[in-house]
């Protein structure tokens, strides 16, 4: 875990619970770490670019959390620089719960999952919305011409902290594309065996008797 993430996530109440449960000593070193790790690197960029969705949490003015799944083609969430993520916000069911929550409280938490490889990246940040009229160049950079969905706005996330979470308890799951990739060698082997069998069936049968 990073220093920046612990500074935000480990509130006094959380720290008290860690002390009560005996895990506080394992995290105390983060309080003195010089490397905050609040800037994304190439490792995070490659992971984010491969994802086709993420879970996004916001909080309403009445204190209720709201978690929403945001999906799209792989790479629709883009790393614009080491401190900024952005995505084109596609029109959905027009409830606007997340958008409304983030108008009053710009804090956001997102979790990106790689179920197949049991990897999980958590990011804490602050959101800013940009309309097409305000940022046409940015909109053009983030919209996906081949994806048939109406874009209502651009969502920019300023990264405050991130953490690569423990893979424990992540049940492996596979997308259709990942399943095809994993069984491709088996299909190739089956095709080769069928070809060999077909050749064997066409081979001439010897009618010569024993010598």
Residue with the larger pLDDT of the pair 206 and 132: 132
- pLDDT for 209 beyond 60: no
- Can you spell out the DSSP letters for 94-153? S--HHHHHHHH--EEEEEEEETTTTEEEEEEEEEEEE-TTT-HHHHHHH--TTS---EEE
| Averaged pLDDT of the chain | 91
| 81-116: burial string, b at 16+ Cβ within 10 Å, e else | eeeebbbbbbebeeeeebbebbeeeeebbbebbbee
- Would you list the domain boundaries of the chain? 1-37, 39-191
Supply the pLDDT for residue 95.
92
In angstroms, the Cα distances linking 120 to 10, 54, 94, 116 are 19, 10, 29, 11
Long-range contacts of 165-168, Cβ-Cβ distance < 8 Å, separation of 24 or more: 165/111, 165/120, 165/121, 165/122, 166/120, 167/118, 167/119, 167/120
Residue with the larger pLDDT of the pair 118 and 135: 118
Share of the chain above pLDDT 70, in %: 97
CATH of domain 39-191: 2.30.110.10
What is the rounded distance in angstroms from the CA atom of residue 41 to the CA atom of residue 120?
A: 15
Supply the pLDDT for residue 135.
84
Work out the pLDDT band at 208, boundaries 50, 70, 90. low
Work out the pLDDT band at 210, boundaries 50, 70, 90. low
187-204 pLDDT, tens per residue?
999 999 999 999 998 877
154-170 pLDDT, tens per residue?
999 999 999 998 888 99
Once rounded to an integer, what is the mean pLDDT over residues 69-98?
92
Torsion on CA atoms 152, 158, 161, 167, rounded to nearest 10: 30
Once rounded to an integer, what is the mean pLDDT over residues 140-154?
85
31-57 pLDDT, tens per residue?
888 888 899 999 999 999 999 999 999
Phi, psi at 188, each rounded to 5°: -65, -40
């Amino acid at each position: 875990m990073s220093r920046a993430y612990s500074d935000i996530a480990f509130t006094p109440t959380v720290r008290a619970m860690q002390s009560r449960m005996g895990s506080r000593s394992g995290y105390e070193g983060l309080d003195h770490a010089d490397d905050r790790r609040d800037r994304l690197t190439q490792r995070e960029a490659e992971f984010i670019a491969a994802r086709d969705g993420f879970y996004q949490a916001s909080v309403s003015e009445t204190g209720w959390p709201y978690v929403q799944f945001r999906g799209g083609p792989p790479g629709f969430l883009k790393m614009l620089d080491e401190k900024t993520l952005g995505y084109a916000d596609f029109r959905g069911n027009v409830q606007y719960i997340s958008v409304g929550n983030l108008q009053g409280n710009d804090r956001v938490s997102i979790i990106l999952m790689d179920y197949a490889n049991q990897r999980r990246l958590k990011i804490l940040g602050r959101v800013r919305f940009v309309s097409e009229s305000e940022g046409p160049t940015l909109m053009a950079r983030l919209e996906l011409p081949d994806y048939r969905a109406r874009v209502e706005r651009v969502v920019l996330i300023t990264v405050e902290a991130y953490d690569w979470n423990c893979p424990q308890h992540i049940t492996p799951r596979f997308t259709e594309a990942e399943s095809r990739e994993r069984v491709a060698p088996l299909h190739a082997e089956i095709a080769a065996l069928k070809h060999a069998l077909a050749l064997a069936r066409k081979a001439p049968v010897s009618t010569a008797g024993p010598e």
